[in-house]
Structure 1
Amino acid sequence: MMITKTTSETAGSTKARGGVVLIGALVIDSLGNGLFLPLSLVFFTRLTDVPLSLLGILISVANVVTLPVPVWAGALADRLGALPLVVAAQVMQALGYLAYGRVDDPAGIFLAASLVAVGVRFFWSSIFTAVADYADASTSTLSTDSWFAWTNTTRTVGLGAGGLITGAVIADGRAVAYRAVAYRAVAYGAAACFTAAAAAITVFVRAPRFRHETEQARSGYGTLLRDRPFVALTGINTTLAMTSMMLGLGLPTFVLTGLHGPAWLTSALFVGNTVLVSVLAAPVVKRLAGYRRTRAVMTAAALWAVWCLLLSGLVPGRHAWVIPVLIGSTALFTLAEVLHAPVSIALATAMSPPEFRGRYMAAFQYSFTIAGIIAPTFFATLFDLHRALPWIALCVIDCLAVVAIRLLEPSLPPTVQHDSAAEVGGGHEEPSVDQSA
């Protein structure tokens, strides 16, 4: 293995600072996403004359062309640091949403959607590297796992709050002219959120930046591809990521079409999920500090398997017991989500060589990208055959994931299984700014 010198440096300090601002900025970032998420496709159908079928193609192609972005983002994160990429991603999304309010032709829509899509892809390809870099150099007693739990909480809170705000704004039944103004106001509000988040991180947050010799940097993706345990983890996580998307992707169709349930039920389940994730994420991960990360991920997969098994047994016309089962099974899904999201990211981070962390974490994000591409077709195809088939198939897949992680476990060293900087003491430690910086 090539031995090279690696240095870690930040502007003026070897310590990270701005923890509170970082968490706050991520809340604002997620708020911007939440504001526009309910209008992702309907926005242009209401404000332009472009047919819906063409809009779907334009937005799909805009997302497909971003598939190479994680490869570039990982290399740039290793060379320049991840935090500048996070800021650049937020600026791109801000500019894209500003353009949303001004474009009305297919070419303009495609360019605006592409700018947002590239920004989103850069953000998710670099944010976890930035958080891990910050956690490494922070004086906070929070573990890396807990920092990722807080990141997951910010996303949940921001998306939920943004969605509620947009729902209230567009619920007004007044004239078409009012709706056009309201829709544009939402897009500009999202742009303002991303701009504010980028400005806050730029001014107040510092995290280490790694520099490496050129030859070593060029070997990064080759090293990754030869790292069989990491490649295996990424493959396993693709199946788990697909399950994690099914609450939002598959459950509404299953409840409304498969079970003929009331329209309010899925909304109530989503609200409950959002509240529980926001409340439980950080405390649950803190309680897991003494356990193997692989066991936490295995537990999440097992809980998702039970969730799928319960859903597969539901039949229409039995609301007296269907509704309690849906509520209870969604609680299981939520606990699995609380376990999987931060711990899987922390496990991937721990398996990444520090000098190649950007590349590794960007590659790990492909598990979520691929899952997002497969999941809609997977669910729709099986659901068309029978309402229970998607859940039965997912249950089997999640059970296989449990076995696969157990087989992978012996190849992982103890330093990967546990956080070397896990919290000590019983008190809850909030993210805090390093006062010495």
Structure 2
Amino acid sequence: MVAAALVDRVGSGLWASVSVLYFTYVSHLTVAEIGALAAVAGAVGIAGAPVAGRVADRLPLTRVLVTVQIVRALASLALLTTDHYALLVAFSALGGLGDRAASVLTKLYATRVAGPDRVRYQAVHRTVANAGWALGGLAAAAALTLGATGAYAWLLTGDALSFLACALITLRCGEPPSPSRTAAASDRAATTAPPAGPWRDRTYLAYVATETVLFLDDAVFKVGLPLWIAHADNAPDGLAPLLMVLNNVMVVALQVPMARFAATTPAARRLLLPLSAVFVLGGLTMTLSATGGTITATVLLTVSAAAFTLAEILHATVSWELSVALAPDTAQGSYLGVHGLAQAAQRSIGPLTVTAAIAAGPLGWTAFGSGIALTCLVQHRLIRDRLAEKPSPPITVSKN
């Protein structure tokens, strides 16, 4: 499945970096139309995570994931067949639905196949995915040097083919054990009622709400830093892409080593405390970057980018463990599907939040970082009693 992640992200890197250009130069859409298209696709995509998670609790996971990958491929190829705006929106929305569904299904697969080692497995998976994304972006940049609009179509085709390749790779993967399907069979035999789902679990829903806030680091790199640098008088314009490179390099280099700090559920919860301090540091250095000259601003913005990247790495590690540990074994798919709403919701509120921080002036960034830090502390307290009721899984120790 790690190989599938690499192929998937290479394809996504091909398309993500040129999608706006494709809709502009090939489909001839206006800026407003492209914005509306992206908004609709994102809104529809929100449903992908909970729907996929619920289905995966009832059907073989690999078959569901193969189906989703085929749907993603068909949605990408369908974009090549029309310039009609309504159809482009529909196909993009279908692709967005598939993207979010694939994300939660991949996480569920890791949870089932890796067991107690799920955090390390996810770390390796994310590292490979980031490397694939970078390779795809580089390939797209090289293709665009040809200067022909036909290159966009080929990049979109490459994206679609990557999904088909992922489906083929997934077919070769073994079906992991499913506690939910085993429990469902036992329930039918014993004629007992199944447990309540995540939508009635107030603690888990509150946890997902705090997760939405903690995922805001994503908006910092996609919107916040570039806009802040673009409007700053003392920061070089070319710094923004360099900080994006720093983000990618740090994730690839540190995600796997940092996974050991959340090897158990209690360790993952404890990691929320230093995570809150890192968020404060990121916001504070952004604020201070407005007070000095070019060199000072460059150094402080670099420190801020490194802090927010470290926060991203730590939160990913914590989130992988806690989102599973807080879910009952018999409904992991449904619960992880609801957890997937946090990232989907962040994609909508994240840009608004960071632009509000920028509009508030330098101190807005201190408030931004402190607000997320406070949410870390809220989450740390929120899940305490729940985790005390559920024992941590045993740590697997390999013998040489």
Fold shared per TM-score above 0.5: yes
Q: For residue 3 of structure 1, what is the aligned residue in structure 2? A: none
Is the 8 Å Cα contact of residues 41 and 56 (structure 1) preserved in structure 2? no
Q: For residue 94 of structure 1, what is the aligned residue in structure 2? A: 73
The 5 Å alignment of 1:123-142 reads: 123-136=102-115
Q: For residue 85 of structure 2, what is the aligned residue in structure 1? A: 106
Matched, 1:367 2:342: yes
Q: Which among 100, 119, 134 is matched to residue 145 of structure 1?
A: 119
Matched, 1:186 2:155: yes
Matched, 1:266 2:240: yes
Map Cα deviations across residues 133-178 of structure 1 (whole Å, 9 max, x no partner). 1113xxxxx7111011112212211222211211222134x4xxx2
Is the 8 Å Cα contact of residues 77 and 85 (structure 1) preserved in structure 2? yes
**Number of aligned residues:** 393
Is the 8 Å Cα contact of residues 292 and 418 (structure 1) preserved in structure 2? no
Q: Indicate how the Cα distance of structure 1 residues 144 and 204 shifts in structure 2: closer, same or farther if over 3 A, else same.
A: closer
Is the 8 Å Cα contact of residues 247 and 306 (structure 2) preserved in structure 1? yes
Moved more, 347-356 or 55-64: 55-64
Counterpart secondary structure, 1:392: helix
Matched, 1:281 2:255: yes
Q: Sequence identity of aligned pairs in percent?
A: 24
Q: Indicate how the Cα distance of structure 1 residues 121 and 51 shifts in structure 2: closer, same or farther if over 3 A, else same.
A: same
Is the 8 Å Cα contact of residues 93 and 115 (structure 1) preserved in structure 2? yes
Q: Indicate how the Cα distance of structure 1 residues 402 and 55 shifts in structure 2: closer, same or farther if over 3 A, else same.
A: closer
Amino acid of the structure 2 residue aligned with 1:103: T
Instruction: Please state how far the C-alpha of 1:287 moved relative to its aligned partner.
Output: 4.7
Is the 8 Å Cα contact of residues 69 and 121 (structure 1) preserved in structure 2? yes
The 5 Å alignment of 1:198-347 reads: 198-209=167-178, 210-211=180-181, 212-213=184-185, 219=194, 222-259=196-233, 261-289=235-263, 292-315=267-290, 318-347=293-322
Instruction: Please state how far the C-alpha of 1:127 moved relative to its aligned partner.
Output: 1.8
Is the 8 Å Cα contact of residues 90 and 197 (structure 1) preserved in structure 2? yes
Is the 8 Å Cα contact of residues 79 and 91 (structure 2) preserved in structure 1? yes
Q: For residue 384 of structure 2, what is the aligned residue in structure 1? A: 410
Q: For residue 353 of structure 2, what is the aligned residue in structure 1? A: 378
Matched, 1:394 2:368: yes
Is the 8 Å Cα contact of residues 93 and 120 (structure 1) preserved in structure 2? yes
Amino acid of the structure 2 residue aligned with 1:41: V
Task: Give the whole-Å Cα distance in 1 for the aligned partners of 2:109 and 2:118.
Answer: 11
Counterpart secondary structure, 1:123: helix
Is the 8 Å Cα contact of residues 215 and 342 (structure 2) preserved in structure 1? yes
Is the 8 Å Cα contact of residues 88 and 119 (structure 1) preserved in structure 2? no
Map Cα deviations across residues 304-353 of structure 1 (whole Å, 9 max, x no partner). 22111110121176111111222222222222222111321221111111
Is the 8 Å Cα contact of residues 203 and 383 (structure 2) preserved in structure 1? no
Task: Give the whole-Å Cα distance in 2 for the aligned partners of 1:223 and 1:238.
Answer: 20
Is the 8 Å Cα contact of residues 225 and 231 (structure 1) preserved in structure 2? yes
Task: Give the whole-Å Cα distance in 2 for the aligned partners of 1:81 and 1:259.
Answer: 56
Is the 8 Å Cα contact of residues 78 and 356 (structure 1) preserved in structure 2? yes
Counterpart secondary structure, 2:57: helix
Counterpart secondary structure, 2:81: coil
Map Cα deviations across residues 226-260 of structure 1 (whole Å, 9 max, x no partner). 43332232121111011343122211111122345
Matched, 1:358 2:329: no
Map Cα deviations across residues 182-233 of structure 1 (whole Å, 9 max, x no partner). 111110111111111111111234322342157899855x442443332232
Counterpart secondary structure, 1:352: coil
| Structure 1: runs of 5 or more not aligned | 1-21, 137-141, 428-437
Structure 2-normalised TM-score? Answer: 0.90
Q: For residue 134 of structure 2, what is the aligned residue in structure 1? A: 160
Task: Give the whole-Å Cα distance in 2 for the aligned partners of 1:245 and 1:218.
Answer: 42
Instruction: Please state how far the C-alpha of 1:104 moved relative to its aligned partner.
Output: 1.2
Instruction: Please state how far the C-alpha of 1:301 moved relative to its aligned partner.
Output: 3.0
Q: For residue 323 of structure 2, what is the aligned residue in structure 1? A: 348
Q: Indicate how the Cα distance of structure 1 residues 73 and 258 shifts in structure 2: closer, same or farther if over 3 A, else same.
A: same
Map Cα deviations across residues 28-72 of structure 1 (whole Å, 9 max, x no partner). 111111111112322111102332312322332233233333332
Is the 8 Å Cα contact of residues 255 and 313 (structure 2) preserved in structure 1? yes
Instruction: Please state how far the C-alpha of 1:263 moved relative to its aligned partner.
Output: 3.0
Task: Give the whole-Å Cα distance in 2 for the aligned partners of 1:45 and 1:35.
Answer: 16
Q: Indicate how the Cα distance of structure 1 residues 263 and 422 shifts in structure 2: closer, same or farther if over 3 A, else same.
A: farther
Is the 8 Å Cα contact of residues 276 and 373 (structure 2) preserved in structure 1? yes
Is the 8 Å Cα contact of residues 234 and 292 (structure 2) preserved in structure 1? yes
Task: Give the whole-Å Cα distance in 2 for the aligned partners of 1:409 and 1:72.
Answer: 25
Task: Give the whole-Å Cα distance in 2 for the aligned partners of 1:375 and 1:217.
Answer: 43
Q: Indicate how the Cα distance of structure 1 residues 228 and 114 shifts in structure 2: closer, same or farther if over 3 A, else same.
A: closer
Q: For residue 434 of structure 1, what is the aligned residue in structure 2? A: none
Amino acid of the structure 2 residue aligned with 1:358: G
Is the 8 Å Cα contact of residues 280 and 338 (structure 1) preserved in structure 2? yes
Matched, 1:42 2:21: yes
Task: Give the whole-Å Cα distance in 2 for the aligned partners of 1:307 and 1:324.
Answer: 12
Q: For residue 10 of structure 1, what is the aligned residue in structure 2? A: none
Task: Give the whole-Å Cα distance in 2 for the aligned partners of 1:30 and 1:273.
Answer: 16
